[in-house]
Every structure is written in C-alpha cells, then in structure tokens.
C-alpha cells in the first residue's frame, strides 16, 4: 500500500517546527508502524535528507520509549497497543496520516517526535518508592499480602511510563500515571508506612511539574496501552483526602528536586 505521512519536523527545542509531507510506497501489512518509519528513514537517508527522529527501543510494548500521535490519537488507537506493536494491516492504501509528538507543557520537545518526559522521573523521586535499604528486608513470606491487593498492585504497576495519558488529556494531566504509582505502592502492606507522605509529596510534585488537573474526560484510560483504569484516579483522590486528614506534620516537607528543573523557556512547540 502507499501512504501519505505528514510528520512534525523540528530540529531542536528552540528551532521552529512544521509539518512535512512524505509519500511512502510499498508498505506491507506485515510491517509494524515503526518498521514503516524505518523504511521511510532509509529512503530519506538515500536522498541525503535527515531521517525522522522518534524514540523507541524494545519494540515489544514494554519499555515505554515509543509513542506519538497518529491522526490525533496517542499510539494510533488500537486497544492496548503501543505504536511499536501497531501493525500496518490496520491501515489501507491511500491513507493520509498525521504524526506529531506528545503535546504537553510538561513534556518539552527534544527533536521531531521525541519529547522530554523526565517530569515523570521527578514525580517518582518525590515519593514513588518504598524505602528499603538493601539487605534489611525480612524473609519474603514474612509479609502476607492478600491476593486481591497483590493483583491490584500489579494492575497499577503495569504502567510503562510512556506518557500517552498526558498526551491524550485535554488538560495535559498526569493523573493516570501518578495514580498508577500511588495505587501500586499504597495497595501493599509494604507501602503502608509511607502511604500518606507518598500521596502528598507525589501530588505536589505532579502539580509543580506543570501538568494539568483531571476533569474526568477519560481520554487517558482510552489510550493507555496497559489498560490502567480511571478508577485509580478515584483511589488516589481518596488517598489524598485520607492523607490530608491524617497529616500530623507541619509544614509539608517536599523533597528537593535535584535534577534538571523544568524551564519555562524550553516548551515552545505549539502547533502552528
């Protein structure tokens, strides 16, 4: 099949960006979406044009590196599928596809379809962990975890940190991502001692990074390649209320963010 691709090209965060149209021929249904882009890049290279930069690595839908919008839909719209596992058999000859990077204030553009998602790391730094100095753990079976809690924790921990939820949200909120980590750790008895502190710190960090708030659109759940459900946001909000009610320390201590703080001037990549 032959396709028309309109791809966002932008050499760096501060350079101007624009859509550039490419024709790609002889795409076969066995190819994955990224293999189709590989073929485009080989073609561009042969014409001495700069290949399209896009992030990817495992190509098995688990590392969370890949992701961009295809006709406005994060990862292209097949259920529970990252763009690296998106097969070209879902497209047809003559299709015209618009590819653009995640668009969010908190995800500054790096190049073409690549954005900087390090804000997610800083949310984890604020409290997305259980403190266990190596070697100090009790025997693994000394901690009983009800199967239901373990299953919920797993469902939440399946998040791959790709950022599709943020890209799909009209408010560019990171609520689904953040609630997944809070649900993972707060569901487990191991996570209980730091539960309230974690909830507060992580949510403050999320807000500081410039993500928006949830207004219940549910777009995040619809595009999440790992099926993280919206109900985790509700759980997180319940945990927030619990934490605020039980807070016994004043003032709230927020861990210092030590790496690459967010710069106001590096996020200018609005659609023109």
Partner 1 sequence: MLETEIVETNLERESTLIARIPSDPIEQQWDKCRFNMKLVNPANRRKHSIIIVGAGLAGAAAAATLGQQGYHVDCFSYHDTPRRAHSIAAQGGINAAKNYRNDGDSIFRLFKDTVKGGDYRAREANVYRLAQISLNIIDQCVAQGVPFAREYGGLLDNRSFGGVQVSRTFYARGQTGQQLLLGAYQALEEQIAAGTVTMHTRSELLDVVIVEGRARGLVTRHLPTGRLECHAADVIVLATGGYSNVFYLSTNAKASNCTAIWRAHRRGALFGNPCFTQIHPTCIPLSSEYQSKLTLMSESLRNDGRIWVAKEKGETRAPNDIPENERDYYLENRYPSFGNLVPRDVASRNAKEVCDEGRGVGPHGQGVYLDFADAIHRLGLETVREKYGNLFEIYQRITGEDAYQVPMRIYPAPHYTMGGLWVDYHLMSTIPGLFVSGEANFSDHGANRLGASALMQGLADGYFILPCTVPDYIASTKLDPVDTSHPAFMSVEAEVRTRIKTLVSIKGKRSPDSFHKELGKIMWDDCGMARSDAGLRKALARIPELREEFWGNLRIVGGDDELNQSLEKANRVSDFLELAELMCVDALDRSESCGGHFRVESQTPEGEAKRDDANFSYTAAWEWKGLGQAPILHKEPLTFEYVPLSQRSYK
Interacting residues with partner 1 between 209 and 268 (CB under 8 A): 255-259
Size of the site for partner 1 (CB under 8 A): 85
Print the binding letters for residues 2-41 with partner 1: x by CB under 8 A, - otherwise.
Answer: ---------xx---------------xxxxx-xxx-xx-x
Please give the Cα distance from 104 to 17 (Å, whole number). 15
Which residues, 6+ apart, have CB-to-CB distance to 90 below 8 Å? 76, 78
Please give the Cα distance from 265 to 96 (Å, whole number). 33
**Which residues within the stretch 143-172 sit at the binding site for partner 1 (CB under 8 A)?**
143-147, 150-151, 153-154, 157-158, 160-161
Closer residue to partner 1, CB minimum distance, 72 or 146: 146
Closer residue to partner 1, CB minimum distance, 52 or 168: 52
Please give the Cα distance from 200 to 240 (Å, whole number). 7
Task: Copy the structure tokens of residue 89.
Answer: 């058999």
The yes or no reply on residue 130 touching partner 1 (CB under 8 A) is yes
Please give the Cα distance from 75 to 101 (Å, whole number). 10
Which one of the spans 63-71, 169-177, 214-222, 235-243 is the region binding partner 1 (CB under 8 A)? Answer: 63-71
What DSSP character marks residue 61?
Answer: S
The yes or no reply on residue 135 touching partner 1 (CB under 8 A) is yes
The yes or no reply on residue 60 touching partner 1 (CB under 8 A) is yes
Say if CB 239 and CB 186 are below 8 A apart: yes
């Amino acid at each position: 099949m032959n396709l028309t691709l309109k791809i966002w090209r932008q050499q760096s965060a501060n350079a101007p960006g624009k859509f550039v149209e490419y024709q790609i021929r002889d795409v076969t249904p066995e190819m994955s979406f990224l293999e189709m882009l590989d073929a485009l890049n080989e073609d561009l290279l042969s014409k001495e044009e700069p290949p399209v930069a896009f992030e990817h690595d495992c190509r098995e839908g688990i590392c969370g590196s890949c992701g961009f919008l295809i006709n406005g839909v994060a990862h292209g719209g097949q259920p529970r599928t990252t763009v690296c596992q998106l097969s070209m058999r879902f497209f047809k000859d003559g299709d015209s596809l618009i590819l653009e990077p995640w668009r969010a204030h908190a995800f500054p553009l790096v190049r073409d379809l690549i954005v900087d998602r390090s804000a997610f790391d800083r949310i984890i730094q604020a409290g997305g962990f259980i403190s266990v100095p190596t070697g100090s753990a009790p025997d693994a079976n000394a901690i009983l975890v009800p199967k239901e809690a373990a299953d919920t924790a797993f469902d939440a921990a399946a998040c791959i940190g790709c950022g599709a939820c943020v890209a799909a949200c009209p408010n560019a909120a990171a609520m689904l991502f953040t609630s997944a980590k809070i649900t993972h750790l707060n569901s487990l008895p191991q996570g209980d001692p730091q539960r309230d502190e974690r909830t507060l710190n992580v949510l403050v960090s999320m807000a500081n990074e410039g993500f928006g708030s949830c207004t219940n659109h549910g777009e995040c759940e619809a595009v999440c390649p790992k099926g993280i459900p919206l109900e985790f946001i509700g759980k997180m909000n319940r945990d927030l209320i619990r934490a605020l009610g039980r807070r016994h320390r004043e003032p709230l201590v927020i861990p210092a963010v030590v790496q690459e703080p967010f710069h106001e001037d590096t996020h200018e990549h609005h659609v023109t």
